[in-house]
């Protein structure tokens, strides 16, 4: 990590430290903003004392970030169009990062202050989309090319479907519990338990399930939301100090050879499927001289891009041996080949086996560009874990008492938490960012409906309003800030 600061101009160093502070501040705020949802039910039902629940939730968030990988991180990064990622310079990198972070932090703090369970995921994604669209307007790029819309649609679907699924599944789980044990004490609220049984805590097995599922939600929250912070830091590092981070400089000789072999196998794959892909990729028609000076990713430049990449990696056993410009060039080639492979994988005419082979080649191709240094993962894990341990009270009260017209029963808490843990865990498997806030609060609402408790209209409207407004508000704020920053740097 010490090498990160060597040889940097003073203004670049200050900007880098400030940008990293912003990202970690966002994750810290995310900790007490979103993780309150993970411990809301376990605290409200008295299954754990608040200080213990928050402490262990912080620990499991930390572990979730450490063990979660980087799939979701790069799903967030690739919301930006590949041209913006490969052609970014230090000035525009700073403008991009500070704009989206300032917008995200501002909205998160505002909704937290008013105790509204708004989504940090929606906020961050809206901010990234806002920067992408503003960049398109500033540089006269068609809006259709200003954002990676296919990735945006995939993420939007996960953000929309996950709370709906949380609502329905949590309701069904509660109905199942009521059918299985209709007279069980798990269907009491903490207040009823205190009045009727003169006991403070839920029954043992209910308490165990509540605690385990709450820690499960904390773990998957860490692995999903923590990765968003990792993705942001990688945007910062690649944008401000590209020489050191465009490629994983710790890549082994084997990993570099694997990347080089992937380009060869990809070329063979395209030739094998020339009848289907020949026109789309202009196979046999494009030359190395066709590659533009201001690099852009055009599927019809695939053959010269592969040739240029193989030439750049010829005999390379350590990325340190490449100069700064060559590292940036290699990353451009790799990102463009991956972008083209994604487009090819969606074309009709390829059978399932060929698409599976192409997906494996893509993983080999990006093995040394989609990474995160260990210190980045630890820093995000600490920020998220520590943030979890403060500021949770406002949202706990909303989730526990203000969604339904009656207090939450133990069974409702279990149903909502088990559903949230499973839904977010599945999203992690498919590298899709989802909102812990919306999945859990929707799950609680579903159990209230299933329990015939009714919903508090005011709270539900506030949550829905935040859900609807978060995306456009963060997009507009980030776009405005990016426009101002771009004008300032000229």
54 falls in which pLDDT band (50, 70, 90)? confident
Task: Show the tokens assigned to 179.
Answer: 């059918």
The answer to whether residue 477 scores a pLDDT higher than 80 is: yes
Q: Phi/psi at 404 (nearest 5 deg)?
A: -100, 165
Average pLDDT over residues 166-182: 93
81 falls in which pLDDT band (50, 70, 90)? confident
Please report the pLDDT score of residue 332 as a whole number. Answer: 87
Comparing 178 with 388, the larger pLDDT belongs to 178
Task: Show the tokens assigned to 266.
Answer: 């990809």
Please report the pLDDT score of residue 108 as a whole number. Answer: 81
Indicate the pTM of the whole model. Answer: 0.84
458 falls in which pLDDT band (50, 70, 90)? confident
Rounded CA separation 257/226 (Å): 31
Rounded CA separation 269/266 (Å): 5
Comparing 43 with 271, the larger pLDDT belongs to 271
Comparing CA positions, the residue from 311, 315, 209, 213 lying closest to residue 257 is 315
Please report the pLDDT score of residue 89 as a whole number. Answer: 60
Choice among 63-67, 167-171, 454-458, 469-473 with the minimum mean pLDDT: 454-458
Q: How far apart are the first and last CA of the chain?
A: 32
Please report the pLDDT score of residue 262 as a whole number. Answer: 93
Q: What are the domain boundaries of the chain?
A: 16-244+372-489, 249-365
Q: Tally DSSP H helices, then E strands, for the chain.
A: 21, 0
Task: Show the tokens assigned to 467.
Answer: 């859900």
Please report the pLDDT score of residue 211 as a whole number. Answer: 93
The DSSP symbol for 147 reads S
Please report the pLDDT score of residue 452 as a whole number. Answer: 80
Whether 489 and 95 have beta carbons less than 8 Å apart is answered as yes
**pLDDT single digits (tens) 183-224:** 888 888 888 888 888 888 899 999 999 999 999 998 998 888
Strand partners for 109: none
Please report the pLDDT score of residue 206 as a whole number. Answer: 92
Q: Phi/psi at 455 (nearest 5 deg)?
A: -115, 145
Helix, strand, coil percentages (3-state) for the chain, rounded to 5, are: 75, 0, 20
The answer to whether residue 300 scores a pLDDT higher than 70 is: yes
The answer to whether residue 444 scores a pLDDT higher than 60 is: yes
The answer to whether residue 295 scores a pLDDT higher than 70 is: no
Task: Show the tokens assigned to 80.
Answer: 């930006």
Choice among 75-84, 134-143, 337-346, 442-451 with the minimum mean pLDDT: 75-84
**pLDDT single digits (tens) 336-393:** 899 899 889 888 888 888 889 999 999 999 889 999 999 999 999 999 888 877 755 6
Average pLDDT over residues 58-70: 89
4 falls in which pLDDT band (50, 70, 90)? low
Whether 404 and 460 have beta carbons less than 8 Å apart is answered as no
Comparing CA positions, the residue from 450, 390, 389, 385 lying closest to residue 415 is 450
Give the CA angle between residues 241, 243, 246 to the nearest 5°.
Answer: 90
Average pLDDT over residues 169-188: 91
Give the contacts of 475 (CB within 8 A, at least 6 positions apart): 126, 127, 129, 130, 133
Altogether, the residues listed in the chain come to a count of 490
Please report the pLDDT score of residue 379 as a whole number. Answer: 93
407 falls in which pLDDT band (50, 70, 90)? confident
Whether 107 and 470 have beta carbons less than 8 Å apart is answered as yes
The answer to whether residue 169 scores a pLDDT higher than 60 is: yes
Please report the pLDDT score of residue 464 as a whole number. Answer: 76
Average pLDDT over residues 29-51: 78
Whether 96 and 88 have beta carbons less than 8 Å apart is answered as yes
Please report the pLDDT score of residue 135 as a whole number. Answer: 84
Q: What is the DSSP string of 164-220?
A: HHHHHHHHHHHHHHHHH-TT-GGGS-HHHHHHHH--SS--HHHHHHHHHHHHHHHHH
How much of the chain exceeds pLDDT 90, in percent?
26
Please report the pLDDT score of residue 434 as a whole number. Answer: 85
């Amino acid at each position: 990590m010490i090498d990160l600061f060597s040889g940097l101009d003073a203004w670049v160093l200050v900007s880098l430290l400030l940008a990293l502070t912003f990202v970690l501040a966002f994750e810290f705020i995310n900790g007490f903003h979103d993780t309150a949802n993970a411990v809301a039910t376990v605290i409200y039902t008295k299954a754990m004392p608040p200080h213990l629940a928050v402490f262990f939730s912080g620990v499991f968030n930390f572990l979730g970030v450490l063990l979660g990988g980087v799939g979701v991180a790069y799903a967030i990064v690739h919301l930006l169009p590949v041209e913006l990622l490969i052609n970014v310079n230090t000035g525009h990198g700073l403008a991009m990062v500070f704009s989206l972070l300032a917008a995200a932090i501002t909205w998160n703090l505002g909704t937290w202050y008013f105790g509204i369970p708004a989504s940090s995921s929606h906020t961050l994604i809206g901010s990234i989309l806002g920067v992408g669209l503003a960049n398109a307007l500033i540089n006269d790029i068609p809006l259709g090319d200003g954002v990676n819309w296919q990735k945006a649609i995939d993420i939007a679907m996960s953000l929309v479907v996950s709370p709906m699924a949380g609502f329905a599944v949590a309701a069904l789980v509660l109905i199942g519990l009521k059918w299985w044990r209709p007279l069980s004490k798990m269907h009491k609220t903490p207040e009823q338990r205190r009045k009727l049984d003169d006991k403070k805590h839920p029954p043992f097995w209910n308490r165990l399930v509540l605690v385990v599922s709450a820690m499960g939600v904390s773990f998957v929250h860490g692995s999903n939301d923590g990765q968003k912070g990792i993705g942001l830091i990688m945007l910062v590092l690649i944008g401000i100090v590209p020489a050191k981070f465009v490629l994983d400089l710790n890549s082994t000789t084997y990993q570099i050879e694997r990347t080089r072999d992937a380009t060869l196998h990809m070329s063979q794959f395209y030739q094998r499927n020339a009848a289907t892909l020949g026109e789309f990729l202009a196979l046999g028609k494009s030359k190395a001289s066709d590659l533009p000076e201001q690099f852009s990713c055009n599927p019809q430049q695939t053959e010269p891009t592969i040739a240029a990449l193989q030439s750049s990696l010829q005999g390379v056993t350590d990325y340190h041996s490449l100069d700064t410009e060559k590292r940036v060039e290699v990353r451009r080639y790799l990102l463009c080949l991956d972008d083209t492979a994604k487009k090819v994988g969606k074309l009709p005419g390829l059978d399932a086996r060929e698409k599976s082979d192409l997906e494996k080649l893509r993983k080999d191709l990006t093995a040394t560009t989609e990474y995160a240094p260990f210190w980045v993962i630890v820093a995000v894990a600490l920020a998220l874990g520590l943030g979890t341990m403060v500021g949770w009270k406002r949202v706990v009260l909303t989730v526990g008492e203000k969604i339904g017209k009656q207090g939450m029963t133990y069974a409702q808490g279990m149903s909502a938490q088990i559903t949230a843990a499973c839904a977010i865990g599945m999203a992690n498997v498919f590298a899709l960012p989802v909102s812990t806030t919306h999945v859990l609060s929707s799950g609680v609402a579903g159990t209230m409906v299933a329990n015939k408790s009714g919903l508090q209209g005011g709270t539900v409207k506030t949550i829905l309003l935040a859900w609807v407004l978060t995306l456009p508000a963060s997009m507009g704020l980030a776009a405005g800030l990016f426009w101002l920053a771009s004008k300032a740097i000229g």
